[in-house]
Amino acid sequence: MSGTGEIVAGFMPLSDSAILVAAAELGFAENENLKLTLVRETSWANIRDRVAVGHFQAAHMLAPMPIASNLGLSPLPVPIVVPLAVGLGGNAVTVSSALFEKMSAVSHVSVLDAAGRGRALADVIAARKASGEPMLRFAVVHPFSAHNYELRYWLAASGIHPEKDVEIIVVPPSFMADALKAGVIDGYCVGEPWNSVAVAEGTGHFATVKAAIWKLSPEKVLGLKKDWAEKNEEALHALLRAMYHAAVWCQEPANRFQLARLLSKRQYLGLREDVILPALEGKLQIGGGESADIPNFFVPAAHHATFPWKSHALWFYSQMVRWGHADGSPTNQALARNSYRPDIYRAALQPLDIPLPEADMKSEESDGVSAFFDGAQFDPENPLA
C-alpha cells in the first residue's frame, strides 16, 4: 500500500486501547484519509504472531514485546519498530480478598503506598513459608510485558524474590478475574478494566497500582514490522497523527463518559460503562467498599504520553537482563534502544506545529525525586549499572 489507505490493527480488550478505538470511531483516522480497521484479539501471543505474519499492519502491543522480537526472543522474531506509545499507567496489582485481609492485618496503608503494601505482602509470605504453606501464585499477561517487570520490580524492592518466594504464571487479561475467583491464582498484575472486574465481583482488592510503583510509567505501544513501516511512510505518518489527535481527545475529562460508552461496545471491551469509567477518571473502587482517587492512573496524552522514549525501552531491557530473559551486551543494548523510534514520531507530527521533546531519553525523576517507589535512580546511559 502506498500513500494513505487502509490499515488493519490488532488490539486487546483493555482500557488502554482507547486511543486506537477513538481514532477509528471518531473520525480522526478518516480525517487523515485513512481507513483504520480494528480486530480484537484474545491473547498477546496472537497479537505478536499476527503482526509477524502480516495479518496486522499495526497493533496495540505490550511495551517490551517489540524489544523481545528484535532480540530474537519471540517464536517468530521479526524486526519491530515502536513509533508511538499509547499512554502511561493504567495497571494495578490485584490480590484475592482473603490475601488482602491477611495483608491488612499486618499493615493497613493506602493503595498508593507501594512500599507499605509490599512490606505487608512480604510478612504474609514469610508467615506462610514458616508454616509450610504453598507459595502464592501471581499472574501476568505475558513474559515480555510491563506487568511482569513492574510486578517483579515491586516484589524485589519489597524483599520478595519473584522466582523463589512466589510463582508467576501467564494468564490472558480477560481471564484474570475468573482465575482469581476460581482460586487458581492469588493475585495478578493487569491493565484495566480487569482489576475493577474482580472488585465488582467481590473477589479481589487492589494491592497497589502502577502509578505508585513507577510514576508516569510506560505501558502499551504501537508496534509495526520495520519493513512495512519503511515502505508505507505516508500511511504510518497518517496513523500516528490520527492516534495523537485521538489521545488528546481521550485526555479531556469532558470526553471520558463518551469514551467509556465507546469502549463498552461488544466489539471492544464488551463490559458495562460503569466498570470502565472509573479507571478513565482515576476514581476507582479498590475493594471492600473502599474507593481511591489515583492521580495519573491512566494518562493518554499529557506528559508527552505518546512519545516513544528510548530510555523507556532501555529500562525494559535492563529488567530483561536482570531476570535472565536476555543477555546483557552492547549489541543487545543497541537493539533495545533502537526499537523505539522518536525520529518517526517527530517526522509524522512535525506538520501539527506542536511542542515535541528534543531529547530521545529522559530522567525518571521530578524535582530531584525518583519516579520509582523505592527511590532508585535509573541511568539510561548505563542501563545495566
Task: Report the pLDDT averaged over residues 134-140.
Answer: 98
CA distance 75 to 61: 16
Number of domains in the chain: 2
The answer to whether position 192 is within a domain reads: yes
Could you read off the pLDDT of 59-70 as tens digits, one per residue?
999 999 999 999
Task: Give the separation between CA 185 and CA 171, rounded to whole angstroms.
Answer: 10
Q: Are residues 103 and 202 in the same domain?
A: yes
Cell numbers linked to 106: 499486618
Residues 255, 357: one domain? Answer: yes
Which three cell numbers, joined as nine digits, stand for 375? 527511590
> What's the mean pLDDT when you consider all of the chain?
96
Task: Read off the pLDDT of each residue in 343-348 and give the average, rounded to a whole number.
Answer: 98
Q: Are residues 251 and 340 in the same domain?
A: yes
Among residues 68, 87, 88, which one has the least CA distance to residue 78? 68
What's the pLDDT at 288?
94
Mark whether 354 and 243 lie in a shared domain: yes
Domain that holds residue 226: 6-88+217-267+300-370
pLDDT band at residue 368 using 50, 70 and 90 as cut-offs:
confident
Q: Is the pLDDT of residue 1 over 70?
A: no
CA distances from 325 to 51, 184, 309, 379 (A): 22, 25, 22, 20
**Is 381 part of a structural domain of the chain?**
no
Mean pLDDT calculated for residue range 22-32? 98
End-to-end CA distance of the chain: 44
- Of the two residues 5 and 80, the one the predictor is more confident about is 80
Read off the pLDDT of residues 194-222 as tens digits, 9 standing for 90 and up: 999 999 999 999 999 999 999 999 999 99
Predicted pLDDT of residue 355 = 93
Q: Are 190 and 60 in contact (CB under 8 A)?
A: no
Domain of 56, CATH number, reads 3.40.190.10
Amino acid at the residue 208:
T
Residues 350 and 244 in one domain: yes
Q: Write a three-state SS string for 352-374.
A: HCCCCCCCCCCCCEECCEECECC
* Single pTM value for the model: 0.96
Rounded to whole angstroms, how far apart are CA atoms 61 and 20?
12
